[in-house]
Amino acid sequence: MTSGSTGKKAADTALIIRRQSASDRVVALAGNPNVGKSTVFNALTGLSQHTGNWSGKTVTNAQGRCEYQGNGFILVDIPGSYSLMAHSAEEEVARDFLCFGKPDVAVVVCDATCLERNLNLVLQTIEIMPRTVVCVNLMDEAKKKKIRIDLDQLSRQLGVPAVGVCARAEKGLDDLLEQVAACAAQAEAPDPPKVAYPLAVEQALQRMAPAVQLRCGQALPARWLALRILEGDPALLESAGNYLGVPLREDPMLDSLRREALDSLAQAGIPPEKLQDEIVSALVRRAEQISSQVVHCEQGGYHDRDRKIDRILTSRFFGVPLMIALLAGVFWLTIVGANYPSRWLSAGLFWIEERLAEIFAWAGAPDFLCGMLVHGAYRTLAWVVSVMLPPMAIFFPLFTLLEDLGYLPRVAFNLDRYFQACDACGKQSLTMCMGFGCNAAGVVGCRIIDSPRERLIAILTNNFVPCNGRFPMLIAISTMFFAGAFPGPLQSFGSALLLTALILVGVLATFLGSKLLSSTILKGIPSSFTLELPAYRRPQIGKTIFRSVFDRTIFVLGRAAAVAAPAGMLIWLMANVTVGGGTLLSHCAGFLDPFARQLGLDGVILLAFVLGLPANEIVTPIMIMAYLSTGSLIEMESLETMRQLFVANGWTWVTAICVMLFSLMHWPCSTTCLTIHKETQSLKWTAVAFLFPTALGMAACFLVTQIARIWM
Amino acid sequence: MNGIRPLASLQCGQEGRVCDLAVTGSMRRRLQDIGLIVGTKIECVQKSPAGDPTAYLIRGAVIALRKEDAKGVLVFCDGRYPG
């Protein structure tokens, strides 16, 4: 499989830096995954790039601006990576920006509780960017774990400034900016000490460097470039070659230089296949050496608490049940908590609607205008807001808390074995978690998966996780039709269980789909896998809740305005324009009806899903509008009225199951489809992503319907 | 139990030192990048519910590896249990 066919190249390398003034300096923010890089970025820029306690939160370059003493800085938050030798698409984004994005200064964010491992990237960054500032974050966590970091010594050893910060408490950021400003202002780039490679390698580099500089100019450090030419990584050399305008891999002079150097290295006992080992070992040993002088640990067992928690959360017997219980608990809180605010919102918004209609009547506006704008656009908007907003504003903060705590990598750890059985990657569970928010985000998140094949599987199956727009519909239908089986006070509990079961069906579909794909069109062996289990961190509860309620509100309102309102208008027109004895809507629904019946649905439901392509949020409003002969939504004060409407239109519990199944498994929304196309750079895979879940969903619905028919 | 053996055979709480990496390609570089070179101390800390992958403590960070990959890392154990 070529990188072109799987979109490995899709990562946005062509980042456009948006300077506010010509004197703005560009600062690249690099670091290992999960060191609080995004927190530093947010604290500096005042933006709210989503952060999370697991690798791969930042998959694209985000930028923001900050000022310090009159100097402007454009901060570019690049994806976390362990090394500048890229393994995955997101690491390639990071490396390409650091190496070829011409930042003025690089800031490498490190985790104070795990400095040694972080120093590998620091050393590699300094090799290419002498203007580097090391930002040691999480100083508070280190203090808690009784780890002391000697920053002066670190700075001396590295030959670049080192600043200790605690980004969450916004401590030390001024110092950091001061050092960045000083670093950017220096006329001459500093010359920090180089990592010493084995003697034979050093000799080869000394011979190559002048000739490399002559051929390639000074845009990249000659020593660094010579080392990369020796290593011969094709992807890196191609990027570097494009940047320099020199075909590094085909250039005869460089090639003969390389051959000569490799020969002499081989004679010195370092054959090409061992060269990489020597280079990495030199970096790791240097990091170890620095760390031994800089990090002072008063107490050996500082991991004890985390290990104790892990022994429960990932234990053989309780790991998976606890995971499901947590999910069900989150759903229960969401359902219980969303009930009242939903009612208040809907009462308020529909009161406004009546006033709006009165204003239209008073102004003498034509009926169709009032119908289209008030009963079409506004009513759908109000419906989407009142039904979507409360559950989302409760679910996401809860989920974000779990995320900040560091629980999600444990989910990936618990589930990897099953993904392995499907020849897929355990990190897929992380991208599934992102899919709960938005499938488009989940698809972009798939960049954290190293292998192009496994990444594609994750992209194609991401839609089996119900997103933001589908959740409330699933909650509503399961509550309407099935929670009644539970005695009164336990009903919310029942809906939570049903929803959990439905998510598990989605997870099962993901496994099944992954297995199906990897045994047919995406054959291959599982690739290797490394997953970091970060230290648990206490989430900033207040800040998280505030932030994510705010974010969700904006998101839901934005979607409602951008998609639901225009769609509402369109549906109103379709429901009110009569052609040949029926409305447009009824003609379309009638056309789809025979086919839909085979799937346990009806024409209206299938039409709602088709029209819901731009956004899943509008599927339920369309169904309701179509069922009501008035051609627009009536006031849906309670789920009971809605249920009666559905039952009056022939719904049974089989219909409810099929609608939920189809909602779980059908084509991705248009935004997600566009994102898939952008990520895979292929129409073929976008088509597969559209057809595959649809086929699976239709098969499931058909099966359920046929079985139910025999049984009933 | 002592001597050279694959990392995958370590039980929770056991530790050893890397003496050879018998994996190739990008996984080799990946393991090296997270600090796994000859001589590195590595401790098995946690098995996942299904027994695979397993989490190891490597230079202060906890990293999960699959059994397939851990088989390719040879460690030397002197049989002592830490703690």
Q: Identify the CA nearest to A477 among candidates A651, A596, A635, A594.
A: A651
Q: Which residues of B touch A416 (CB under 8 A)?
A: 48, 52-53, 64, 66
CA A603/CA A375 separation, integer angstroms: 23
Cα dihedral angle (A237, A238, A239, A243), rounded to 10 degrees? 100
Query: Chain A: nearest CA to B39, how far in angstroms?
Result: 10
Which of helix, strand or coil describes residue A301?
coil
Tell me how far apart the alpha carbons of residues A685 and A452 are, in angstroms, rounded to a whole number.
13
User: Measured between CA atoms, how close is A273 to chain B, in angstroms?
Assistant: 10
pLDDT of residue A118: 93
Q: What is the mean pLDDT of residues B15-22?
A: 91
State the DSSP code for A667. Answer: P
Q: Which of A80, A293, A39 is nearest to A172 (CA)?
A: A39
Dihedral sign, CA of A656, A661, A667, A671? positive
**Residues pairing with A109 in the sheet:** A31, A135
Residue A250: count of CB within 10 angstroms of its CB:
10
CA distance B79 to chain A (A): 20
CB contact under 8 A, A117 and B46: no
Q: Which residues of A touch B54 (CB under 8 A)?
A: none
pLDDT in tens, A350-376: 889 889 989 998 988 888 888 888 888
pLDDT at B74: 93
Cross-chain residue pair A416–B66, CB shorter than 8 Å: yes
Q: Supply the range of the domain harboring residue B13.
A: 3-77
Pairing of strands B54-58, B61-65: antiparallel
How many other β-carbons are positioned within 10 Å of the β-carbon of residue A178? 15
3-state secondary structure of A691: helix
Select the residue from A284, A302, A511 to test the B interface by mutation, using most B Cβ atoms within 10 A: A284
Average pLDDT estimate for B7-23: 91
Chain A residues near residue B37 by CB distance under 8 angstroms? 277, 280-281, 284-285
Q: Which helix (H) or strand (E) holds A385?
A: helix A379-405
Distance CA B46, CA B65 (A): 11
pLDDT in the model for residue A694 = 95
Confidence of residue B18 (pLDDT cuts 50, 70, 90): very high
Determine whether the interchain pair A316/B49 forms a contact, defined as Cβ–Cβ distance below 8 Å: yes
* Among A47, A29, A54, A31, residue whose Cα is nearest residue A407: A54
Task: Identify the CATH number of the domain in which residue B56 sits.
Answer: 2.30.30.90
Omega before B53 cis (within 30°)? yes
What is the residue whose two structure tokens read 């150097």?
A261
* Residue contact A529–B46, C-beta within 8 A: no
Q: Could you tell me which residues are beta bridge partners of residue B82?
A: none
Establish if B82 belongs to a structural domain: no
Please report residues of A whose CB lies closer than 8 A to that of B26. Answer: 87, 450, 528
Structure tokens at A40: 């530093």
User: Do A552 and A334 touch, CB atoms closer than 8 A?
Assistant: no
Is residue B24 in a domain?
Answer: yes
Q: Which two tokens stand for residue A139?
A: 């100083």
Q: Do A465 and A435 form a contact (C-beta atoms < 8 A)?
A: yes
Nearest-angstrom CA–CA distance, A616 and A388: 11
B62 touches chain A (CB under 8 A): yes
In 3-state terms chain B splits into helix, strand, coil percentages (rounded to 5) of 20, 40, 40
| A-B contacts (CB, under 8 Å) | 129
| Candidates B17, B46, B56, partner chain A, best to mutate (most A CBs within 10 A) | B46
Two structure tokens written together for A246: 């020199």
- The tokens describing A602, both together, are 């009806």
Q: Are A439 and A465 a contacting pair, CB within 8 Å?
A: yes
User: Are B55 and A319 in contact (CB < 8 Å)?
Assistant: no
Between CA A216 and CA A243 the distance in angstroms is: 10
Instruction: Please give, rounded to a whole number of angstroms, the shortest distance from the CA of A650 to a CA of chain B.
Output: 45
Contact call for residues B33 and A86 (beta carbons, < 8 A): no
CATH fold for the domain made of A3-185: Rossmann fold (3.40.50)
Burial class of residue A523 (count of CB atoms within 10 Å of its CB; 0-12, 13-18, 19+): exposed
- Residue A665's nearest CA partner among A613, A709, A633, A700 is A700
> What is the rounded CA–CA span in Å between residue A530 and residue A295?
25
Asked if B57's CB is within 8 angstroms of A280's CB, the reply is no
How many domains does chain B fold into?
A: 1
Q: Cβ contact (<8 Å) for A87 and B26?
A: yes
Find the helix packing angle between A584-598 and A619-627, rounded to 10°.
Answer: 110
Structure tokens at A464: 């089996």
Task: Show the tokens assigned to A58.
Answer: 């930042």
Task: Please list, in sequence order, all residues whose beta carbon lies within 8 angstroms of the beta carbon of residue A619, skipping any fewer than 6 positions away.
Answer: A470, A473, A608, A609, A611, A612, A663
Give the SS3 label for residue A453: helix
pLDDT in tens, A108-155: 999 998 899 899 999 999 999 999 999 999 999 888 888 899 999 999
Q: Where in chain A are the domains?
A: 3-185, 199-269, 319-522+550-711
- Let me know the angle formed at the C-alpha of A630 by A628 and A636, rounded to the nearest 5 degrees: 55
Residue A189: count other Cβ atoms within 10 Å of its Cβ.
12
Residues of chain A with pLDDT under 50: 1-14, 52-54, 56, 631
Lookup result for tokens 């030397």: B76
- ipTM computed for the complex: 0.92
Which residues is B3 bridged to in the sheet? Answer: B77
Which residues numbered 96-115 in A keep a CB inside 8 Å of some CB on B? 113-115
pLDDT at position A15 is: 61
Secondary element (H or E) of residue A517: helix A491-519
CB A106 within 8 A of CB A76: no
**How confident is the model at residue A137, as a pLDDT?**
93
Contact residues, A window 428-487, toward B, CB-based 8 Å cutoff: 450
Instruction: Please name the residue ranges forming H helices in A520-638.
Output: 541-559, 565-576, 584-598, 603-611, 619-627
What is the SS3 assignment for A531?
strand
